Amino acid sequence: MRFLIVLLIALAGCVATLPDDATISADLACETARAVVLERARPDVPDDKPKPGDKCPNCEGRGYVGDGTVKVKCQRCNGGGKVLACPDGRCPQ
């Protein structure tokens, strides 16, 4: 998608009929730059969600999260290291 935006920018620069008005050209440049920045800021989202019983993507199956010094039980898998079957992660006890 990034390359498509760059290609469109390159093609827009090759057109001989760009508007002569400087404000319209400036608006076009600003909107193009804004579109590129928004495309870069969009986070990468995995296509498939983990299934119940798969390794927890939050703690990588360890059951805890932390930096090695401080460890806290993973809330997403409730410390089990496996994805829970409950859709919201809070199963009735």
How far apart (Å, rounded) are the C-alpha atoms in residues 74 and 62? 8
pLDDT band at 89 (very low <50, low <70, confident <90, very high): low
| pLDDT band, residue 2 (cuts 50/70/90) | confident
Question: Would you state the structure tokens that stand for residue 12, as one six-digit string?
Answer: 């827009």
Element (H, E) at 32: helix 22-41
DSSP state of 69: S
**So what's the pLDDT on residue 30?**
86
pLDDT of residue 8: 77
Residue 65 has pLDDT above 60, yes or no: yes
